[in-house]
Structure 1
């Protein structure tokens, strides 16, 4: 009879598991939580699993930033494009209705780290380009779309960084007003 063998930690956890845990830790505790030892402890494994998947902490942090860019821009854009609602309205509802702890954490990280700063610059450019395109599709000239996209994005960043909760009915009224302002 064959003996049952416990799978080792490298079989149990994937790089994706570590990245997901890293994003959770980042959102909850900030970039200083992105270390092998505390992450391993929170996942109930040794650091060996971490180093099985990532050459070093820098490689892990790069993977976390890459995933953040995917979920904070590309996934949102894909969801907006797939929505039955008008894209700009869907984008506003999605962006202003999201939990933004991760957004705040990455932007804070960017104040201390060049790689995080580069990721933030890239995502800002991607988001601005997308918003400009949506406004141009609504009939605005490129120059007007660019200016209004920037104003809209600054509005989002102010909202994201404030962290102040807004009751749902009030938020909807604000989003309706924002849509009117950028579309006029």
Structure 2
């Protein structure tokens, strides 16, 4: 039986494959030949979309920033009542799969471009939590420190590799919500 035609992949296909490989196997999996084999295409398809591996890494990081912070913030802003936004954000954060978060952070320990992206995502996330806390009635300086507490809690749990069950998430959010009530 003759093999079928080679599928035509878009840059998005490569980026999505890169994100999956990164979450599964770490930054060492972000190589054109490994991804091409996984996708069942030649490396030429990769180089049709990306000038080099550095350009691909930049595209993967830009997509990660979008899905890890910007798209979540946009979705919550559009679809959740103002007074419920922090609780919804916490539920999403603590219920989500953190394998990609962990992989990007590991990659960032040795790669300045990744570290810069992590810093930007951290600023986006902490800034958004600060905004939510100010909306709930906190003064800006207190909102900043509380936001860091919320965010540090998320990162600590994500990096620990522990996954919370549904009931644990609700308990966790309930306890953290105590910090979202101004004194």
With the shorter chain as reference, the TM-score category is: over 0.9
Query: Is residue 41 from structure 1 mapped to residue 40 from structure 2 by the alignment?
Result: no
Cα distance between partner residues in 2 of 1:61 and 1:84: 33
SS in structure 1 of the partner of residue 80 of structure 2 = coil
Corresponding residue of 1:177: 175
Cα distance between partner residues in 2 of 1:38 and 1:50: 11
Counterparts of residues 46-65 of structure 1 (less than 5 Å): 46-65=42-61
SS in structure 1 of the partner of residue 138 of structure 2 = coil
Cα distance between partner residues in 1 of 2:34 and 2:132: 42
Corresponding residue of 1:105: 103
Q: Deviations over 1:53-109 (max 9, x none)?
A: 000000000000000000000111012112335111111111111111100000000
Give structure 2 stretches of 5+ with no counterpart. none
**Number of equivalent positions:** 177
Cα distance between partner residues in 2 of 1:153 and 1:68: 18
Corresponding residue of 2:20: 24
Corresponding residue of 1:80: 76
Q: Structure 1 runs of 4+ off > 4 angstroms? A: 6-9
Could you tell me which of 147, 150, 154 is aligned with 1:149? 147
Q: Which has the higher contact order (CA 8 A, sep 6+)?
A: 2
Q: Give the CA deviation at 1:7.
A: 6.3
Cα distance between partner residues in 2 of 1:66 and 1:110: 14
SS in structure 2 of the partner of residue 127 of structure 1 = helix
Corresponding residue of 1:94: 92
Considering only aligned residues, what root-mean-square deviation do their CA atoms show, in Å?
1.3
Cα distance between partner residues in 2 of 1:150 and 1:58: 32
Contact in 1 for aligned 2:102/2:159 (Cα 8 Å): yes
Give structure 1 stretches of 5+ with no counterpart. 1-5
TM-score (norm 1): 0.92
